[in-house]
Structures are given as C-alpha cells and as structure tokens.
Amino acid sequence: MKRAILHIGTEKTGTTSIQKFLFENRSKLSSMGLLFPASAGFISNQRLVVYGKQAPEPDLADESLDVTDSVQLDQWKEQFVLEHCSEILAFQARHTGASSVIYSAEHLQSRLTKIDEIKRIARLLRPLFDEVRVLVYLRRQDRYALSAHSTSVRGGNPNTFAFEKLNAVGPYYDYRMLLEQWSEVFGADAIDVRVFEKAQLHGGDVVTDFCQVTGIDDSCPSMVKPESENEALSHTALMLLRRFNALAANDPTLLEYSKTEIRPYLLGEVQRIQDPYGRVLPSRSSAVDFYEQFREDNQWIAEQWLNGKGFNEDFHEYPETASTPPALDDLDERLSVLIDEFSHSRMGYATRIGRAIKQRVSNG
C-alpha cells in the first residue's frame, strides 16, 4: 500500500511544531518507510501550495520566482512536477512494501480556496499513491481569532483586538465549507478531522496526536521532538509592537533603519517581556456572540466526522467584562531604547566584520 497523508492545517493548530518534528526526523522517518518530501518544501511544504494555486500570492513563492509572469510560473510548475515525482518514485522503489509520504502545509487550507485548486493537487498525487488521506486540525473559531491577531501584530498590524471588528467570512473560520470542498475532491471517507484541544489530543500534545493518527512510532529514543513554543505575548509586548507598527517609515525613532530590518530583533526582545497583567481578553459575551455564527455548522461537523464530540463550548476563560489593563506611559521611551540597542548591535556586527576583513587582507 502506497499511501499519502496530506496535512492541510488549519493555521494556528501547532502546524509549525509538526513540521519541525517531521523536518528534524526526516532521515529516521525515511528508514521507517515514511517520507517528508523535500521537493514539496523543505520544512513547510509550501511549494505544493504554489503548485496548486492558479495565481499564487507572492509571499508563497521563492524570491526567485515571479508569480506574475505566467510563462515563468508554468515552467516552475513543470519543473516542480518532475522533481516531486522523481523523489516520490525513488522513495517507493526503495520501499517496495507499505510506505507513506507525509505532506504538511497549513496554507493548503487557507490559500487553496477553490475546488479547481484542490483538484490540481489531487491530479498530482493520485497517480503516485494507492490512497490519499487528508488530515486537518480545527481550533474553536474564537480561540483561532485571538491567536491569529497576535501573529498579525508580530507581522505589522497596529490595531487592538475586538471580535466585533472581525470579518468572519471565508476559509479561516468557515470549517464546514473547508471540509465540504476537500470532501468533494477526495471523498468524505478520506478526511480525518481532529479537534485542537488538549483534552482531545492524544497525550495532550499535537505532535504526539499527529504521530498517533499517521502511524508514526514516536517512542524511539532517537526521535527528536521540538519543544513546545509559547506563542502568547504579554500585554506590554503587544503594546510595544503596536506602537512600533504605527510608526511612519520616516519616523526619527527608527534611526534611519527600515522596520523590516528592526522587526526580527524587536520580536526576539519583546517575547521575553513579562508583566503582571496576564492575558488581556475581551468579554465573555463578545466571544460567545462571535462563536454563535459558527455553532450550527460546528455541530454539523461534529455529527459528520467527530462522533458528536465537537468543540468544548465552555467560555469561562474569558472575563465577564473585558480586561482593562492600565495604559503604559513609557512605551515611546522603551521602544526608543530597544531600537537604540538594535542599532548598537548592528554597528557591533559591522565592526566585527570589518575587523575580520582587515585581518584577512593583512594575512593575505
């Protein structure tokens, strides 16, 4: 049996941890008859997403690929098919018995939003495998929204969070549409749905659960498991990032650096900031009202795929009234200090490079 497992996300359900596990154990998995294909993308199988898209967004593709050039894109896709099929067939030739190829890319869920795009993936995979299974983790929509907002602030969003501001239409929240589309192409029986809640995951951990569902024996002592990452940012960290995100490109606070240059350093620094305010959450009623839009479809999903056991609908993690931490009067000062420290670190790095070059010249 030649099997493919297509892990399509969703976003904010531990996909990074799963992909790190697959990447760090690639050789060990291969010896067990399990392939995490490098041709589809080295860590996240993003190249598979680019192949599936008729018109892929620039942020999905390698910098060397101009996705707006249809001729170049078609040539890239042809080359991708050759490289991918070569890798898969060579692996299957080495493993003539049962074998599995595991793909993982959360953007398969969020970016392949048309039936024709999903069909393109199916046409690529079906000739190579006896069976293709689709694995998807679902996170309760209000919890997904909070986590996604934190990610957006890391990426440049200067706005505060409010459920009332969210556009809940589309693939990020409409799980029924997601499952119906993938079922239309691969069949409902080929879809494995998991609930991203600690109580419903094997071992209370998404990597352990993924291994259990896909048949990976993760008990081997040489198997490396990535440390779980705490994605939550403190209130102070979020406020600093929002203030940074709101700065104009020519703001003197930036010391003539671009935000793109500063952001990685800033993210590393604010991630370590702790404060006494805890999680700053919206009110319970706003979370419930937001979730209510999806309750009926979530129940349908539970009946269709989860034996009636869907999301835990307890909302007591939210306060009765929205959290109101105090304003932080020293944000500008703290942000200036961080950017100044970044500047010093860059100058120190440049000095070290200069010294190394001088040393090499003098020795030459």
Q: Is 50 exposed, middle or buried (0-12, 13-18, 19+ CB in 10 A)?
A: buried
The residues that bridge with 34 in the sheet, in sequence order, are 100
Q: What domains, with CATH codes, occur in the chain?
A: 2-139+170-214 (3.40.50), 235-278+329-363 (no CATH)
* Mean of pLDDT values over 183-211: 97
pLDDT of residue 355: 58
* Mean of pLDDT values over 201-216: 95
Check whether 359 has a pLDDT greater than 70.
no
Check whether 349 has a pLDDT greater than 70.
no
Residue 51 CA to residue 55 CA, distance in Å, equals 9
Check whether 312 has a pLDDT greater than 80.
yes
The residues that bridge with 3 in the sheet, in sequence order, are 100, 131
The alpha carbon torsion through 37, 38, 42, 46 (nearest 10 deg) reads: -60
Average pLDDT, the chain: 93
pLDDT of residue 350: 59
**Which band of pLDDT confidence, cut at 50, 70 and 90, is reported for residue 291?**
very high
The fraction of the chain above a pLDDT of 70, given in percent, is 95
pLDDT of residue 346: 86
Q: Nearest CA to 123 among 181, 51, 47? A: 51
Written as six digits, the tokens of 106 are 């959360």
pLDDT digits (tens, 9 = 90+) for 71-88: 999 999 999 999 999 999
The residues, ordered by sequence, that sit 6+ positions from 200 with a Cβ below 8 Å of its Cβ are 194, 309
pLDDT digits (tens, 9 = 90+) for 161-195: 999 999 888 789 999 999 999 999 999 999 999 99
How many residues does this entry show for the chain?
364
The one-letter amino acid code at 41 reads G
Tell me how far the alpha carbon of residue 3 is from its chain's centroid: 24
**Which band of pLDDT confidence, cut at 50, 70 and 90, is reported for residue 357?**
low
Tokens 């018109």, located at residue = 55
Between residues 226 and 49, the one the model is more confident about:
49
Are β-strands 131-138 and 2-7 bridged in parallel, bridged antiparallel, or unpaired?
A: parallel
Name the least confident of 4-8, 196-200, 322-326.
322-326
Q: Nearest CA to 335 among 246, 249, 274? A: 246
125 conformational bin, left if phi > 0, alpha if psi -120 to 50, beta if neither? alpha
Written as six digits, the tokens of 41 are 């993308």
**Which band of pLDDT confidence, cut at 50, 70 and 90, is reported for residue 348?**
confident
Q: Nearest CA to 270 among 335, 348, 347? A: 335
pLDDT of residue 356: 58
Dihedral pair phi/psi, residue 328, rounded to 5°: -105, 110
